[in-house]
Structure 1
């Protein structure tokens, strides 16, 4: 169901975030993220001069290469457009992500390494949807390939990740009865 009809309005700002996941021939996985910010009006920028409607104020790209366990083994970050000449100079700092594993505590670890003046707000924000894309890229493929190898005694990774997969919910009762924590059905 779409959103309700909006009140009369004029466009001002558009942020686009695109993330794609790829399986590499060498057994690793690439996740690429692309962020753009554009305005619907012309304005002057101290560094770049006139920025016309549709020209990106921000345009950043990042590639994370991860292994099957979602550990980051390589990073490439690029600032193609930014509002200041110094913007691209921070991208080498994103090498601090190498060795991190995408999973619980990832956001906190990213902020410790790249928060505030140690990083770029826009590239750090891009990491959230990239992490989700990494999970959505790797997990389903490996789950299908390892279907017969699943350990039934191991807690499912999706359990308690959202309301659908709540340990006390009906889905968990039907799909993972050994891990169901809700009331007994009579």
Structure 2
């Protein structure tokens, strides 16, 4: 369901698009390719009397990571198509090799902040990296289903996604129906 129309007239200003695509590789690894594009809906002045035209990307960057079946990053590459300060922005791209070795399911977002915060990284690439854990989970979900690795009937280890959001809280109706072995009726939302 889309958001309802507003009752107040508005002027469009900014559009940010984030896109993530994932790929199974023939070597048994997976690539996630993330893209961020920022557009303005108006012209504005930039350096040396030039004008940045409406609809031309202010930011356009890409981040590719390769992961193994344990969600550990084995390779990372960042590239820029557009940035407000050109090569001064793009020169930070090699720093994103520091993602190699991180695990998307083990404090990944915090590790990105520790390694690439402020002037050690690019605000926009680091924000783009933040969407990768949930995209990776979606990537692997289909693989696990098709290989018969469904976590619905496991009893030896709680599936990692349980108690990770409101719908999958241990005391909720979804867990009760689909993961009954992990259902905890006395568990409140937001904690276990």
Scaled by the length of structure 1, the TM-score of the pair is: 0.91
Residue pair 1:47, 1:84 contacting (<8 A) in 2 also: no
Structure 1: stretches of 5+ with no match in the other structure: none
User: Relative to structure 2, which stretch is displaced further, 148-157 or 27-36?
Assistant: 148-157
Scaled by the length of structure 2, the TM-score of the pair is: 0.89
Partner SS for 1:65: strand
Structure 2: stretches of 5+ with no match in the other structure: 187-192
RMSD of aligned alpha carbons:
1.8
Note closer, same or farther for the CA distance 1:99–1:8 as it changes in structure 2 (3 Å cut).
same
Q: CA deviation at 1:29?
A: 0.3
Residue 180 of structure 2: which of 152, 177, 181 is its match? 177
CA distance in 2, matches of 1:90, 1:146: 42
Q: CA deviation at 1:95?
A: 0.6
Note closer, same or farther for the CA distance 1:36–1:161 as it changes in structure 2 (3 Å cut).
same
Residue pair 2:21, 2:32 contacting (<8 A) in 1 also: yes
CA distance in 2, matches of 1:82, 1:28: 30
Partner SS for 2:55: coil
CA distance in 2, matches of 1:171, 1:179: 11
CA distance in 2, matches of 1:146, 1:127: 30
Residue pair 2:31, 2:64 contacting (<8 A) in 1 also: yes
User: Relative to structure 2, which stretch is displaced further, 102-111 or 40-49?
Assistant: 40-49
Aligned to 2:18: 17
